[in-house]
Amino acid sequence: MSSKMSVEKQEDILCFFINGKKVTENNPDPETTLLSFLREKLRLTGTKYGCGGGGCGACTVMLSRLQPATRTITHFSVNACLLPVCQLHGASVTTVEGVGSTKTRLHPVQERIAKAHGTQCGFCTPGMVMSMYTLLRNRPQPTMEDIIQALAGNLCRCTGYRPILDGCRTFCQRDDGSRQEANCCRANGGEGCCLKGEQSPEEPAHEEKPRLFDKEEFLPLDPTQELIFPPELILMAEAANPKTLTFRGERMSWVSPASLEELLQLKARNPDAPLVVGNSNVGPDMKFKGVLHPLMISPTRVTELFEVTRTPQGVWVGAGCSLTEVRSLLEKLLPQLEQEQTGLIRALSRQLGTLGSQQIRNVASLGGNIVSAHPNSDLNPVLAAGNCKVSLLSAGGRRELPLDQDFFVSFGKTLLKPEEILLSVFIPFSRKGEFFGAFRQAPRKESSFSTVTSGMRVLFSEGSRVVQDVSIYYGGMGPTTVGATKTCAAIVSSPWDDETLSRAYDVLLDELVLPLSAPGGKVEFRRSLTLSFLFQFHLEVLQKLKEMHVITEEIPEKMQPLPREIHPGLQEFQHVSKEQSDQDPVGRPIMHRSALSHATGEAVYCDDLPATEGELFLALVTSSRAHAKITALDASEALRLPGVVDVITARDVPGRKARKMFGYEEELLAGGEVSCVGQLLCAVVADSRPHAKRGAAAVRVSYEDLPDPVFTAEEAVEKESFFEPRRTIERGDVTKAFESVDQAHEGELRIGGQEHFYMETQSMLVVPVGEETEFNAYVSTQFPTLMQVAIAETLSIPSNRVTCHVRRIGGAFGGKVVKTAVLACITAVAAWKTNRAVRCVLERGEDMLISGARHPVLGKYKVGFMNDGRIVAADFHYYANAGNMVDESVLVVEKFLLHFDNAYNIPNLRGHAAACRTNLPSNTAFRGFGVPQSLLVVENMVEDVAALLRRPADQIREINMYRGPSLTQYKLEFSPENLRRCWDECKLRSEHAARRLAADLFNREHRWRKRGVAIVPIKYGIAFSEGFLNQAAALVHIYKDGSVLVSHGGTEMGQGLHTKMQQVASRELHVPAAKVYISETSTNTVPNASPSAASYGTDANGMAVQDACRTLYQRLEPVRLRNPKGSWESWVQAAFLEKTSLSATGFYKGPDLYMDWDKKEGRPYAYFTFGVCCCEVELDCLTGDYRTLRTDIVVDIGRSVNPSVDIGQVEGAFMQGLGLYTLEELKFSPSGLLYTRGPSQYKIPAVCDVPLRFNVYLLPDSSNPHAIYSSKGIGEPALFLGSAAFFAIKDAAAAARSESGLLGPFSLNSPATPERACLACASPFTQKIPASKPGSFKPWALNI
């Protein structure tokens, strides 16, 4: 390649501004992104790494540029992880640090997100702040729709989004100009309105209900206080004679030409060099596929690429315009044109609204979108159907080509010659009688690559329904955008009616055939979508023809988009008693103690710790085979690369080379054999992240495949491949009971796995102290003690030489325990061997590949029941796919059987559970620890019984619910009274009966839209069933100035544990909460602590902190009695002078819980948390898309220590459950490789998935003698309540099936993705698709 020719001149200086300060770089590396530049070069660590691919929004910053043509300054949000720093010449960047800080002044966005409780772990918060801040810079008074669109590309795994939206909602304006009410009861469907002093019918007149936050306290938004665009950049932009910029890095060069002529010459000399505008295509290819371009050309300063020219026939749009600019341009054109001219413009605008996220649309160019030629492009089918054309330019001249099927040659290839550039795109105005349709279906409603897209156009002569011309294009139906030419031929010259379309469907099915093993899978669904889209277009066109009086017959059904307006929700909790001191924070909705630090980016996470002198970075080498012998591992090439210091293998481990659990060993680094793709083989340490990554890629591993890998639960059962012990439990006599039942039924349910997707990936830093083999380990973990013990054993040193520090964790959910210990041990070996600090931070794809997930489960059941609805016998078999290592799988399957009664007193109940040993990456603990899988099978069984008896499922649930003093299957006594109260309260609050009737009415009136309602209970056992894990300790110091430092064994990962401990200390010491500080969790202050897990953190650590504080308060008693009116500070000072110890440890032994599996009885839980959730969804039967219209949750959590934290836990857990049961899908290749290794392939819930009305009620007048201040653990139980959305979808699908005459139980596996929901509806279109026979082809993905 001739890149040297084009870049022989001297390099230039890059000049831009960050937070108002000038930055000049003499030799920027084109491979450096803005994110790494901010974090590593400038130490601005508020901007976070979440995924590296522009899919999560954690790295959002604001970019401001002067548009020279209009002299206007534009502000737009961008993903710093995709933006090359070389692209920033002449731009101004604002990061979260530049918006506001706790040291100077908070910005209202930061304050409102924090005080509205919109932050839990806080890792996503700076990105949220920046997306909202950018919106406010452009629109100081946004609408709710603006906010939802601005936040669509920002993911949060903790909060469930509701509090973030509530905080942002306070910036909205009503139509009359006043601020919008964040909590209006009228908006919640109430009849009366609190603003008018009215009461809703069932509410007696009494004092005002407590609120989670008071918006009257918020700082007003003052746009005049924002940072100005640097005047120096304005002068720079207006200077005459812009010159070409050239930057050279270690492996590649970057040229930014200043004129079109120069660009064409560059391209002629370097035809293979890509043009980079948004880097949303080239960037991910380089990062994730290892593509290297020796030269990149950035044409962003070539003005001709951004010109817009309007002609009488249409508009030429510059190919460099961003998708945001294109949409804005199209929307500005609408009022200037006749209605009949706007068909194509409206169709394009609709597609642009959901293509990517706001951050992606702000940088991705129209030309880049076309030329990248993605098979499932949202725009290309619409542009092709609309007869658009492109203008291509090279040094040899200009040519115009139609954007049609021939333009897209093959996967990622077009008719563009290597030396050509795409200059502009012509979008024609539509004509009279010409109609357009644009359709897309994606795994998630927004910020998601499409499964299938379509653009359609039809032309009629005036006053006729006979088709003159038609074009139909699809994306996602082959390697390129495809045109349905035969289908069009079958329609042309025929009247647009059912008969013509019916013929067209058959032609279309024959014309667009996908092989059953097509990449991306979902073949039946994709084929059915081609028909559904054509049918939707058919209905839309009929509607238009009727409006124009061309036809008079009735239209079957007007297709409306699913509802999307998010309303304010209700969050109800009890006031504290009037007697409680104002200073006592317990029971009040106190803001998370780090919320302001989260919102300003000041909160320090593991990878935010500054690098120490000589620090190295560690990258891992993983297995590419699922079941093989390692025949050779050659690191010689890696060791020759720049910056690589060493390679760590199993031979380097001085102590224990494996971690042992349940009698099985897990090697830290595989020696002779690998048992899954992603198993750790060795590690490369280098002087920087990029060097370590390149070193890891250069390690060569040779394998010899071993026969018959096991991937599925069925294969494991067939080959008896299990981790022992397997468990069984029984109450009553199941076999005998089946002899006397009225009806019996057998069924099964598959539940897919779930990736933790904590926003902060696995992160650790191990620092040798320098003497006596002492190490400090800074690890993002839920279990510091395990890290300490594991590192000590691996290095063969005593535990007292290792201190593990955890300040905070950016989310964990069970995924930062076992695998984290393995990673920490490898990092420690590297630090020990090199005697230098070593940092290891996994990239998102590595993390997802290596760290395991929630167990996929195959559940089988047989149920016997009476005709009156009583279930008298049930037999369950659970098979969990444990993966290649035992991890905590044995405990997980035990929990299946400890919970599978859920809320039901089934007199004869039997369960069998097994952890299947397979050649997939080892699965691990995940919030709920097996309960969400176990109970979904149980509730599915209940739904089957209801379907067979033709009765509502809630009646069957109610008939079988525990009543009065009850015994579980393991003979633990409990009272279900509060479970029944939650059930009754939820039915009342959700207006369940009325909404059930309304849904039935809706379903009778709509053929292609159905509503479903479901109400689901949970009984969840709290604490560790291994009694020794329930202990906790704390250390409390009082300093001479009266300030208090609390240390305890729990870790803060967003669940508000430190905030609650601060509340406990404040109450017990009778001091304001502001006097109490919690710095970190470390093994040198509180030894031998249990993991922060099992929803038991507050219960155990709260009691320990209480014990220490009471000891101290007791010690101060003599001083207090002598000076009762003295201040706290005076008492502390006096006690110090009297030589009273102002430091105390606290200890809580915890309950002695156990489970005897031989006797099948025990007391594995301290108590139960109860909850009930009612969900209503609306389902589009043609595409499988759905919206959760309303969710009402009632939970019994005793007396809440902090209602804002607890409600946040309920909402966040529900949304995680919603993801598990309706959205999140792990896909593995037939050879065991995880396909879904990032947010572009794996979809967690986003803002677009929040229930449109989301109400949470904490059950009043409840208490719990078994926990601190009568509270209850709440972290995990509510996750299962997300299954209410699953069963509501199933209910809606049942209504759709009944239209086709299909009644009774049917199979719907979890997650109920659009694909599964659509196929379950069994519409006439899905029934046209020939069913595939399993075993007759090799599927694209395994059915795990």
Average pLDDT of span 262-266: 96
Question: Hey, which residues are catalytic here?
Answer: 1276
The residues facing 467 across adjacent strands are 460
* Tens digits of residue pLDDT in 1007-1025: 999 999 999 999 999 999 9
Instruction: Report helix, strand or coil for 456.
Output: strand
pLDDT at 199 over 70: no
CA distance 1276 to 1282: 12
DSSP 8-state secondary structure symbol assigned to residue 839: E
Half-sphere exposure of 611 (CA within 13 A, CB side): 19
Please report, rounded to a whole number, the percentage of residues in the chain having pLDDT higher than 70: 97
66 burial class (0-12, 13-18, 19+ CB within 10 angstroms)? buried
CA distance 209 to 218: 20
Average pLDDT of span 542-562: 89
Phi-psi group of 1235: left, alpha or beta (phi > 0 → left; psi -120 to 50 → alpha; rest → beta): alpha
* Tens digits of residue pLDDT in 270-324: 999 999 998 888 888 888 888 899 999 999 999 999 999 999 999 999 999 999 9
Q: Are 430 and 333 in contact (CB under 8 A)?
A: no
Average pLDDT of span 949-971: 98
User: For position 175, what pLDDT does the model report?
Assistant: 44
| Residue 970, phi then psi, degrees to nearest 5 | -105, 20
Report which of 892, 922, 924, 882 is spatially closest to residue 674, judged by C-alpha positions: 922
Q: Out of 98-102, 193-197, 616-620, 873-877, which region has the weakest mean confidence (pLDDT)?
A: 193-197
Q: What angle do CA 372, 375, 377 make, to 5 degrees?
A: 70
pLDDT at 760 over 90: yes
Task: Compute the chain's Rg from CA coordinates.
Answer: 31
Question: Which of the four pLDDT bands, split at 50, 70 and 90, describes residue 959?
Answer: very high
pLDDT at 39 over 50: yes
* Tens digits of residue pLDDT in 674-683: 999 999 999 9
CA distance 1202 to 1210: 12
Instruction: Report helix, strand or coil for 209.
Output: coil
Question: Which of the four pLDDT bands, split at 50, 70 and 90, describes residue 242?
Answer: confident
Cβ atoms within 10 Å, residue 1298: 14
Average pLDDT of span 1071-1098: 97
Structure tokens at 936: 């979904």
Q: Are 1096 and 1165 in contact (CB under 8 A)?
A: no
User: For position 27, what pLDDT does the model report?
Assistant: 87
Return all residues near 1114 (Cβ < 8 A) that are at least 6 apart: none
Return all residues near 540 (Cβ < 8 A) that are at least 6 apart: 435, 437, 559
> What number of residues does the chain have?
1344
Average pLDDT of span 1078-1104: 97
Average pLDDT of span 929-957: 98
Q: Are 182 and 173 in contact (CB under 8 A)?
A: no
Percentages of the chain per state (helix, strand, coil), in multiples of 5:
35, 25, 45
* Tens digits of residue pLDDT in 469-497: 999 999 999 999 999 999 999 999 999 99
Return all residues near 1332 (Cβ < 8 A) that are at least 6 apart: 516, 523, 524
User: For position 1015, what pLDDT does the model report?
Assistant: 98
- Which range of 122-126, 177-181, 1334-1338 scores highest in mean pLDDT? It is 122-126
pLDDT at 557 over 90: no
Helices (H) and strands (E) in the chain, counts: 39, 50
User: For position 179, what pLDDT does the model report?
Assistant: 54
Average pLDDT of span 446-454: 95
Task: Check residues 178 and 1041 and name the one with the higher pLDDT.
Answer: 1041
CA distance 352 to 362: 11
Mean model confidence pLDDT for the chain? 94
Average pLDDT of span 1306-1323: 97
Question: The tokens 């009461």 sit on which residue?
Answer: 199
User: For position 883, what pLDDT does the model report?
Assistant: 98
pLDDT at 657 over 90: yes
User: For position 284, what pLDDT does the model report?
Assistant: 85
User: For position 206, what pLDDT does the model report?
Assistant: 52
Average pLDDT of span 149-165: 97
User: For position 555, what pLDDT does the model report?
Assistant: 84
395 burial class (0-12, 13-18, 19+ CB within 10 angstroms)? middle
User: For position 6, what pLDDT does the model report?
Assistant: 43
Question: Which of the four pLDDT bands, split at 50, 70 and 90, describes residue 184?
Answer: very low
Question: Which of the four pLDDT bands, split at 50, 70 and 90, describes residue 968?
Answer: very high
Question: Which of the four pLDDT bands, split at 50, 70 and 90, describes residue 188?
Answer: very low
Q: Are 716 and 1146 in contact (CB under 8 A)?
A: no
pLDDT at 1274 over 90: yes
Q: Out of 219-228, 327-336, 902-911, which region has the weakest mean confidence (pLDDT)?
A: 219-228
pLDDT at 182 over 70: no
Question: Which of the four pLDDT bands, split at 50, 70 and 90, describes residue 208?
Answer: confident
The residues facing 904 across adjacent strands are 961
CA distance 784 to 803: 9
649-654: long-range pairs with CB below 8 Å, 24+: 649/681, 649/682, 650/682, 652/829, 652/833, 653/794, 653/825, 653/829, 654/794, 654/795, 654/796, 654/829, 654/832
Q: Out of 431-440, 823-832, 1000-1009, 1325-1334, which region has the weakest mean confidence (pLDDT)?
A: 1325-1334
Greatest extent of the chain over all pairs of C-alpha atoms, in Å: 103
838-841 vs 616-622, strand pairing mode: parallel
Question: Which of the four pLDDT bands, split at 50, 70 and 90, describes residue 240?
Answer: low
